[in-house]
Amino acid sequence: MKITFLTPADNLTGGTRVVATYASLLQRRGHEVLVVSNAPDRTTLRERLRATARSLRRGQWPRRAAPPAEGHIALSGVPHRVLERKRPIEAHDVPDADVVVATWWETAVWMHALPPRKGRPVHLVQGYEVWTGGAVRDRVHAALALPNRKVAISGTLAREIERELGPLDMTVVPNAVDLQRFDAPSRARGTPPTVGFIYAHTPIKGSDLCARACSLARERVPSLRVLAFGVDRPDAGVPLPAGTEFTWRPAQAQLPALYARCDAWLFGSRLDSFGLPLLEAMACRTPVIGVPTGAAPELLADGAGVLVPPESPEAMADAIVQLCAGPEADWRRTAQRAHARAHAYSWEDATTRLLDVLEAASAPDGGRA
């Protein structure tokens, strides 16, 4: 089949990694794949001036902006076309194909305007993308109501959307993890123990919640070590616990070792459609302590992790203490269940399920409703 993916930009987000993974595996299976991305976001002069002013108010000399990092699509090596500027993707930007796959609500709108020869439409729904609020909510709802085949990345996401919009006949194809990359041998709990989390400035990611939980847990486990990484540099606006070992923009090949150094991984995201770090940490035998966001309720069930209430650093700290200072046999049991859950389902499995949807969409009776 000829398959075209439409993305809003190439970057290092989890959603883009999902698209890059599918594109690579479909290409490996002999399909002709192209990813078409909009031009990357660029900071405006006003945004740069505001960032400079914030640094000066904190008594810091403004850092030179880091060069844009290559995104997951570029790193994957799949055929990739990037628009010359920020604008809708149009018919002349994409080849004729059997199937075209939107991966964000705006790309679903652009996909709907394409002529039929560009491919039968499939919407890979990677989030309930209404978090910017305002008029965007109505536009997202309109995009989700467009006639196409819809694939949601988790059952939780599908249920959340259909509670708002009613039945949409969504097929659930859960995300997976690269099981060859994300794995680790059985190990003992660390002495002293280490916890880790993703660091980000945006409140959505909940870094402040995780940092506060670590500080509270240290009151009972003073030797507790903290590890963090992310694409944002540490900032006084979201302070890290004292002595945190921070890695800025780690290479993808570094991630398994970082996860495996931790005895617990914290997931405090306030808004997330799935949460790939959950699975990545679990695949490396690291128990996850997480809030019930994204796929966490499904992944951490049955003792494969610990669910804690949202916005409760105290509850997260209690779970840290229990895992890191409680009986090691309990920790080993949780680590083993996490590993088994993550390794029970691969990207190859997910690609087979997605391909079933794409083939059905490209069948003679799979056209636009």
Mark whether 153 and 225 lie in a shared domain: no
Type of residue numbered 249: R
What does the block give as tokens for 128? 């309930």
Check whether residue 260 and residue 275 sit in a common domain.
yes
Residue 210: CB partners within 8 Å, gap ≥ 6?
197, 266, 268, 316
* Mean pLDDT, rounded, of the chain: 92
Please check the confidence at residue 236 and state whether its pLDDT lies above 90: yes
Neighbours of 332 (CB within 10 A): 16
Q: How confident is the model at residue 10 (pLDDT cuts 50, 70, 90)?
A: very high
- Do 293 and 254 lie in a common domain? yes
Quick one: pLDDT at residue 68?
Answer: 54
Residue 285 predicted with pLDDT over 50: yes
Shared-domain flag, residues 169 and 204: no
170-224 pLDDT tens trace: 999 999 999 999 999 999 999 999 999 999 999 999 999 999 999 999 999 999 9
Helices (H), 113-269: 136-144, 155-165, 207-218, 255-260
- The pLDDT of residue 62 is above 90: no
* Coil vs helix vs strand at 43: coil
pLDDT at 136: 92
Are residue 169 and residue 20 in the same domain, yes or no? yes
Domain with residue 168: its CATH number is: 3.40.50.2000
What tokens does 35 get?
A: 């990813």
Whether 167 is covered by a domain: the verdict is yes
Instruction: Please give the Cα distance from 125 to 365 (Å, whole number).
Output: 22
Q: What's the Cα-to-Cα distance from 81 to each of 38, 39, 158, rounded to whole Å?
A: 9, 10, 30
pLDDT digits (tens, 9 = 90+) for 326-345: 999 999 999 999 999 999 99
Predicted local distance difference test score (pLDDT) of residue 364: 85
Question: How many Å separate Cα 209 from the centre of its chain?
Answer: 18
Do 243 and 300 lie in one domain? The reply is: yes
368 domain residue, yes or no: no
Tokens (6 digits) for 148: 């196409």
What pLDDT shows up at residue 47? 38
pLDDT interval class at 14 (50, 70, 90): confident
Q: How do residues 140-160 score in pLDDT, each as one tens digit?
A: 999 999 999 999 999 889 999
Whether 169 and 216 map to the same domain: the answer is no
- Gyration radius of the chain's alpha carbons: 21
Q: What would the pLDDT profile of 16-39 be if each residue is shown by its tens digit?
A: 999 999 999 999 999 999 999 999
Same-domain check for residues 240 and 167: no
Q: What is the pLDDT of residue 252?
A: 87
pTM for the whole structure? 0.82
20 and 38: one domain? Answer: yes
Q: What digits encode the pLDDT tens for the residues 114-138? A: 999 999 999 999 999 997 667 899 9
- From the list 319, 249, 328, 329, the residue with the least C-alpha distance to 288 is 319
Give me the domain span that covers residue 301.
Answer: 194-343
Structural domains of the chain, count:
2
* pLDDT confidence bin for 46, thresholds 50/70/90: very low
Q: Give the DSSP H or E segment for 351.
A: helix 347-362
Percent of the chain with pLDDT over 70: 90
Q: Report the number of secondary-structure helices (H) and strands (E) in the chain.
A: 13, 13
CB 7 within 8 A of CB 36: yes
Task: Report whether 25 contacts 352 (CB < 8 A).
Answer: no
